Amino acid sequence: MRIGVPKEIKDQEFRVGLTPAAVATLVKRSHKVSIQKEAGLGAGFHDADYVKAGATIVETAKQAYAQDMVVKVKEPLPSEYELLHSDLILFTYLHLAANRDLTKALLRSGASCIAYETVQTATGQLPLLTPMSIIAGRLSVQFGAHYLTKQQGGSGVLLGGIPGVRSGRVAILGGGVVGTEAARMAVGLGARVQILDISSTRLSELEIIFGSRVELLYSTPNSIAEAVADADLVIGAVLLAGGRAPILVSKELVGKMRSHSVIVDVAVDQGGCIETGRTTSHTEPVYEAEGVLHYGVPNIPGAVPWTSTQALVNATLPYVCAIAREGMDALSHDQVLAKGLNIKNGIIVHPEVLKTFPDLG
């Protein structure tokens, strides 16, 4: 199969779809790989590394897209829509529930679109989302602590506190991978941490992980209201695989938070769980609403591309190899991969995406 890897063009997105080591694996299996010039540079991989692995370097995104399969990191942006074609297999993060225009463009193209974030096991695990969720969860607290500093417009609270002064308070909405990793970081800094989740089973699992170091609360409107109003840092970590994130924090509730507290909404790539939230970028990551700083960057792991690219490709490569070997037939042999199919032949096939955009079905 002919595989293309275009350079990511989302704001300060330095990850790349394949590493040189992954290219070598594919070439060894008789596949042809075209890498757009300098696509891996931000992650520490030079064109010469790809050439040594057996890839061809192409100058333009158009050349990278003119293949049987395109392997990316983030969703195509509007300038790339015209490069999509009906015989293309697109394998990348898509997060369609948060992007109607992209969904319409993919439908018009006729491409087969497989989303990393909805590849799902029978037990509900998301193997291609998990490594980036780990990174995003850990970074969410690092960025939150940074923006709590007075110089960044925050309230001036140190999450870890010191003897004689209270620790910062962190409320984490959702106890999945993002929430768990955010809690690890916040506990490590010495913060007082609460995790809210709607699954009693998950809360029991978190008790085994954290013991008494984290307060575990069943998520209700009342418990959310109390936790958020008392928090210096709120982490939005809810996830509905393939679907739009529910709004858990109203504008009114944000207004009850302490002045210059911080919200980091990791769920923003699926529409966000904060009513006052909106998508930001690494270039302009924060804004103030209701007296609270909001961080809404949808590609948080792009800040650490050396680590995140390798973690991502470690997870995606077996699936890339399967598709390269069998084409779309690979999905009929692997129900985990089949869950990743969002759009095929101009039709939405993922139920959560269809639920979000019923008029496009």
15 is in an annotated binding site: yes
Q: What torsion, rounded to 10 degrees, do the Cα atoms 338, 9, 104, 91 define?
A: -10
Place of tokens 């069943």: 218
Q: Are 157 and 150 in contact (CB under 8 A)?
A: no
- Distance from C-alpha of 25 to C-alpha of 54, rounded to nearest angstrom: 9
SS3 of 23-77: HHHHHHCCCEEEEECCCCHHHCCCHHHHHHHCCEEECCHHHHHCCCEEECCCCCC
What is the DSSP track for 272-308? -SBTT-----SSS-EEEETTEEEE--S-GGGGSHHHH
- Distance from C-alpha of 302 to C-alpha of 16, rounded to nearest angstrom: 10
254 is in an annotated binding site: no
68 is in an annotated binding site: no
202 is in an annotated binding site: yes
232 belongs to the catalytic site: no
Please give the single-letter amino acid code of residue 317.
L
Task: Kindly list the distances between the CA atom of residue 134 and the CA atoms of 127, 139, 261, 320, in Å, as whole numbers in the listed order.
Answer: 11, 9, 24, 22
Which tokens is 157 given?
């609270």
325 is in an annotated binding site: no
Q: Are 175 and 200 in contact (CB under 8 A)?
A: no
Nearest Cα neighbor of 113 from 121, 105, 122 is: 105
Q: Considering the candidates 49, 265, 269, 350, report the single residue annotated as catalytic.
A: 269
Q: Which sign does the torsion angle of CA 76, 317, 139, 42 carry?
A: negative
74 is in an annotated binding site: yes
- Distance from C-alpha of 100 to C-alpha of 357, rounded to nearest angstrom: 8
266 is in an annotated binding site: yes
- Distance from C-alpha of 76 to C-alpha of 93, rounded to nearest angstrom: 9
268 is in an annotated binding site: yes
- Strand bridging mode 286-289 / 292-295: antiparallel
- Distance from C-alpha of 294 to C-alpha of 263, rounded to nearest angstrom: 5
231 is in an annotated binding site: no
155 is in an annotated binding site: no
95 belongs to the catalytic site: yes
Q: Considering the candidates 31, 49, 95, 232, report the single residue annotated as catalytic.
A: 95
Please report, in range form, the residues annotated as the binding site: 15, 74, 133, 197, 202, 219, 238-239, 266-269, 278
What are the catalytic residues? 95, 269
Please report, in range form, the residues annotated as the binding site for NAD(+): 133, 197, 202, 219, 238-239, 266-269, 278
Please report, in range form, the residues annotated as the binding site for substrate: 15, 74
